[in-house]
Structure 1
């Protein structure tokens, strides 16, 4: 079933060059939208600084989980075992298909922001969904890789949000240090 869904999506590659170009752009450039939004949020207000820190903690935790999964589990990418249409850039066949780092990080950050800002969070969730879909379209991941990665990224953010009392002191320390550095720079 996983391969059938993959084929149904991937066989469209090459038929619609403009969609191919959009999928390549989303797959490779969406992460810059996330970084830009986090930077803009950081400079907006103290409330948004806390959201940014929570999103960064979720992203770092997700990267750690990604690293551990890659150490113990390997699933060949679709283009290794099947004749598929693949869009650039072509990843190494030695990289595991599961989990998708792009998708995990996108959903981790989007979910973190969704807790505090619904409009921006839903926009970022839509972008995360498109990121995952573009990875299937481009022949780099199976649908189950994307669904699993989206769940891991989202659940990681939920857990980080639930246990934020553990790292609330860390966030307060970062905010206090940042404010003191800014005040010191203004005095000079």
Structure 2
């Protein structure tokens, strides 16, 4: 497979360095919170999708089909992002620029472009918005904060995050909408023992 060596430092290395230098001057408590968020924040999207599924039980077969498709869309976005990542040999910025970062720098060969965290967060946020806009008021800012945190802790260049967010959104949007066609299948499930999982009444 042909791979491309992407020189991320020439794209936005200066912005990356400015952000990581700012992180070094930030209060320790802030960096601790950002580290926890970047490591465990994706769990919030799982909780939001679970809430979306629970609410969809009261909203009909179409809403339930979309809610059930949300995690599938997230997995698809991750796979798509990882496939794209395999075509680009972009070293992590902390390896290339030798900056001091909030979190330990990933090993050589752990490619940087595009950001998996950002793709997953964006895919989840888009799917959640399509399932229920109220939850979207939480999911969308959380996705943007996840992307920003990946730069703050030193794991990614800004362009890694932007492209990851775009990939996640572009994969999740059509897949979640396409799931509406599965409403008849949800109706059939509601006539089985699985009814409590797909309908509240």
Q: TM-score range by the shorter chain?
A: 0.7 to 0.9
Alpha-carbon shift at residue 28 of structure 1 (Å): 0.9
- Which of 40, 49, 52 is 1:41 aligned to? 52
Deviations 1:111-155 (A, max 9, x none): 112124223113111001000100000000000000011111111
Superposition pairs of residues 136-175 of structure 1, within 5 angstroms = 136-164=151-179, 168-169=181-182, 172-173=184-185
Distance 2:154 2:42 in 1: 19
Distance 1:3 1:101, change over 3 A: same
Closer, same or farther: CA 92–179 of 1 in aligned 2, 3 Å: farther
Change (3 A) 1:18 1:178: farther
Specify the SS of the correspondent of 2:22: coil
List per-residue Cα deviations over 1:9-58 (Å, max 9, x = no partner).
11022322121012101101111111122223223333453332232121
Q: Over the residues paired in the alignment, what is the CA RMSD in angstroms?
A: 2.4
- What residue is the counterpart of 2:98 in the other structure? 83
The question of 1:108 aligning with 2:155 is answered no
Please give the alpha-carbon distance, in whole angstroms, between the structure 2 residues aligned to 1:69 and 1:135: 18
- What is the rounded CA distance, in whole Å, between the counterparts of 2:130 and 2:194 in structure 1? 28
| 1:9-88 matched pairs, under 5 angstroms | 9-16=19-26, 17-46=28-57, 47=59, 49-88=64-103
Structure 2's unaligned 5+ residue stretches are 1-10, 197-201
Unmatched 5+ residue regions in structure 1? none
TM-score normalised to structure 1 length: 0.84
Aligned length, in residue pairs: 182
Counterparts of 1:73 and 1:179, CA distance in 2: 48
Distance 2:126 2:157 in 1: 22
Give the secondary structure class of the aligned counterpart of 1:9.
helix
How far apart are the structure 2 equivalents of 1:159 and 1:45? Answer: 19
Distance, in Å, in 1 between the alignment partners of 2:101 and 2:86 is 25
